[in-house]
Amino acid sequence: MAHVTTREEDIKVGRNGFIILLIVTFAEVGIALIGNGHLIEGLTLPKMIMIPVMIALSLYKAYYITAIFMHLGSEVKPMIATIILPMLLFIWAIIAFLWEGSAWFNNQEYVNKKNQEQVNPKGEATEGATGMLMDAQDAPKSVRFE
């Protein structure tokens, strides 16, 4: 059964939410500006402190908005799980794609170096350059097809 609220209660929840989100946002901006030395010359915060605090404040804002303004705080557990689990999978996918993209980016330097190696016109390798990603002594001696 839904909880019935009056207009005054709704206005109070909205006003309190606005104030809480305003304070948390000012804290985030303040940490970012002070931590990077933009407000006070020469004063910076270590990134190992600044980044987790910023992430925690952002997660608190996300929780507060979904719990209060999207009314998930008063929903039943299966409904919350239906929303939270796909979101966690989406976050996992973003992390996995960034990780994989970083690996591709790091391997690109190796591939570019191999592509710039010179091979003479007869197809024989010049000294120190094979044009291959694997040296001949590292290649398998036989191939089996089954």
- The domain segmentation of the chain, as residue ranges, is 1-74, 76-115
Model confidence pLDDT, tens digit, residues 71-85: 777 778 888 788 888
According to the per-residue pLDDT averaged within each range, which of 23-27, 47-51, 135-139 is highest? 23-27
Is 60 exceeded by the pLDDT of residue 25? yes
Which amino acid is present at 98? L
125-to-13, 69, 119, 129 alpha-carbon distances in Å: 75, 68, 5, 6
- What pLDDT does residue 53 have? 94
Could you tell me the pLDDT band of residue 103, with boundaries at 50, 70 and 90?
confident
For the segment 78-98, the average pLDDT, to the nearest whole number, is 88
CA distance 92 to 89: 5
pTM for the predicted model, two decimal places: 0.56
Decide: residue 19, CB within 10 A, 0-12 exposed, 13-18 middle, 19+ buried: exposed
Instruction: Flag whether pLDDT at 106 surpasses 90.
Output: no
